Amino acid sequence: MANSEANIPFAVVILAAGKSTRMKSARSKVLHEVGGRSLIGHVIGVAEGAGAALTVVVTGHDGEAVAAEASVHAANFAHAVQDPPMGTGHAVAAAIAAVDALTTFDGDVIVVFGDTPLLRAENFTALQGARAAGASVAVLGFTPDDAAAYGRLLVSGELAPGVHGLEAIVEFKEATEGQRAIDFCNGGAMLIDGAHLPALVAAIGNDNAKGEFYLTDAVALAVGKGLKSAAVEAAEDDVMGVDSRMGLARAEAVFQKRARVAHMAEGVTLRDPETVYFSFDTKIGRDVVVGQNVVFAPGVEIADNVTIKPFSHLEGARVEDAAQVGPFARLRPEAVIGRHVKIGNFVEVKKATIEEGAKVSHLTYIGDARVGAGSNIGAGVITCNYDGYNKYFTDIGADVFVGVNAALVAPVTIGDGANVAAGSTVTTDVPPDALGVARGKQRNIDGWAPKYRARKKAEKDAKK
């Protein structure tokens, strides 16, 4: 069945059976993160965003953690085990054997690696475009600065503009000197017409230097059957694989560069773009100004006209219109910062709502709490929300003034319009419009200081 257009549903098979040998990790490499999301989570996200109707993940014998992670991201998920690993063709054969849907799939199957987090939806669309041009097998290719040991693509002619006819993929170890001189390389992603997938995979042999079953042989096998194969070119970054800590760092750098460009294009001002870090799901409105050395961990939403000052860290938080955060502020999960709120330096907010126009200007911890509209929280104030066993809630009403160094011991309520005196340890509710004072009475002892100094000097002299 030939596809007449791109962006129709397809199945994706993600190869994730590799070990973390070069990563030097007890975890599978595909569970390591870029932009706050696992490598395999990125691959699944872009595949499903491009129209994948079925996601099949192939793992090794110890792949339960990978399968669990994949199932979180995939809407329609299946798991296959490749044990022992005997090459990419063997991995796809394991997927076909484990997932009945692949033997009768009425569409295309795209095979990708689980350690390629920088793939774009456009890459899947390009493969589908090659399919629409008449190819039964289509491959992503790229032209690296250093072709190194990548497999080489043997192309001839064009099926359509930008769609190269493809005769074969030759693994580097199998390539002649002339073939190694080719700089158009295998990017690792391959589309195969589902109607031909089982037969092509079954025909793959292992008569090669490594004794493995290479999926890349499907190209020449298809051509031998009179089917058309094609290659479309992707950017080198798009097909970057991650198999080491250095590779992880390179992928993170590319991800961050893309994110910075995307946010600036949508109307965000970054004072020093290279020092701002985003997550895969960061949402930022227009006319937002972000200072230097700001980190957006996962789950952050920023409305319009917000200012995030330098050295702030935000995670799982929502900041509403025209609020100001930082510098040196920390917003933790379930922090909601209302319109026109000011969160100042060295303020930490966790699982708390700060309502419109309130100010928490410096050196304060607000956790498991509500701060009502227009309230002012002084320096050094703490909501004491944990007794060592359970968390408790502090409710601060509207237009409340809390003086410096007050400790609000939850559960406690400060009524609308109330004041809390500086230095108070508040353990019971303060009624609306009342003054809450909870501190020891000051006592002054005349002449005490000179006597103290004389005593301490005598103690020090006695030690000489």
Task: Supply the residues annotated as catalytic.
Answer: 362
Q: How many Å apart are CA 252 and CA 245, to the nearest integer?
A: 10
Ramachandran angles phi, psi of 368, nearest 5°: 50, 60
Token duo for residue 83 = 């044990």
Sign of CA dihedral 449, 451, 456, 458: positive
For residue 398, give the nearest of 421, 370, 426, 428 by alpha carbon: 370
441's CB contacts (< 8 A; 6+ apart) are none
Whether the bond between 450 and the residue before it is cis, its omega within 30 degrees of 0, is: no
Q: What are phi and psi of 126, to 5 degrees?
A: -65, -40
Angstrom distance (rounded) from CA 138 to CA 166:
8
Decide if 246 contacts 112 (C-beta within 8 A): no
Strand-pair partners of 408:
383, 426
Task: Give the count of beta carbons closer than 10 Å to the beta carbon of residue 148.
Answer: 8
Token pair for 133? 């041009």
